[in-house]
Amino acid sequence: MANHSFTFTHALCRTPSNSVTDGLRAEDQGDPSADVFRSEHASYVAALRATGAEVEVLPADERFPDSVFIEDAALCLKGQAIVLRPGAETRLGEAAALRPDLTRIMTGVIDLQTEGFVDGGDILCSDHEVMVGLSARTDRTGAEDLGPIVSDLGYKLRILETPADILHFKTESSLLDAETILATPKLSASGCFDDYRVIHTAEGEDLAANAIRVNDTVFLSSGNPRTADALDKAGYKVVVLDTTQATLVDGGLSCMSLRFSI
């Protein structure tokens, strides 16, 4: 399947819980409003549907404040779901909670067997490789144990270092097409994208880096007009979405869906 790293027939999301007010964050800038978050989330889901993807929205799971960030619990590749081991103590149970839905929806489910940890937010996939950024949430043991699974699915695994003050590897990078990455200058300075064409986010617009390409559209968080303009000029169809509440709990566009084809 060509361009399977950004061409998707389906997406899976989870409604923000009321408990999202307790979501993890590195810096407290106030709690998100669960109601406003659900409104922004509904717009996000509608925007994904507008790309032609079939989007299922799972009910809120009040046990897990961060469960709206469904991407951290699993990795979907070629119709298979790999159930991950999220690295924050309050989030580890999200993977088992999601597993029955993955079993129902996906062609197959593979459990990452590891003593380590991997968050989906630390995984950036292109058509041929799975890049895993080590972070406070993803350790080398977890990343190495993911290797044989992705290798069986036809991908090369590449383990990278995420700079210390960045939560997730994809907090500051995203795939724009099979050859092109959007990244902050700081993350790309590490050399991790030397095999790709890189478009940098504009100065002061680091939050733009957590974009998602879904079919013909690149989704970008609002408040990043110069990056949006640069992508538009580079020929991408850009749609801007509000992520004000997700940002308060260190989440962004990629974390709020699992995107896949079955």
Residues near ligand GLY (CB under 6 A) are 23-25, 66, 69, 88, 91, 249-251
Query: Is 168 among the residues known to form the active site?
Result: yes
255 is catalytic: yes
Q: CB nearer to ligand GLY: give 66 or 206.
A: 66
Selected catalytic residue, list 10, 168, 192, 200: 168
Least distance CB 254 / ligand GLY (angstroms): 12
What DSSP assignment string belongs to the chain?
A: -TTTTT--SEEEEEPPPGGGGG---SS-S-PPPHHHHHHHHHHHHHHHHTTT-EEEEEPP-TT-TTTT-GGGGEEEETTEEEE-B-SSGGGTHHHHHHHHHHHHHSSEEEE---SS-B-GGGEEE-SSEEEEEE-SS--HHHHHHHHHHHHHTT-EEEEEEPPTT-SSGGGGEEEEETTEEEE-HHHHTTTTTTTSEEEEPPTT-GGGGS-EEETTEEEEESS-HHHHHHHHHTT-EEEEE--HHHHHTT--TGGG-EEE--
66 vs 172, which CB is nearer to ligand GLY? 66
Q: How far is the CB of 141 from ligand GLY (least distance, A)?
A: 19
Nearest to ligand GLY by Cβ — which residue? Answer: 24
**Closer residue to ligand GLY in complex, CB, 21/261:** 21
Q: Residue 63 CB, nearest distance to ligand GLY (Å)?
A: 15
Q: Which residues are catalytic?
A: 168, 255
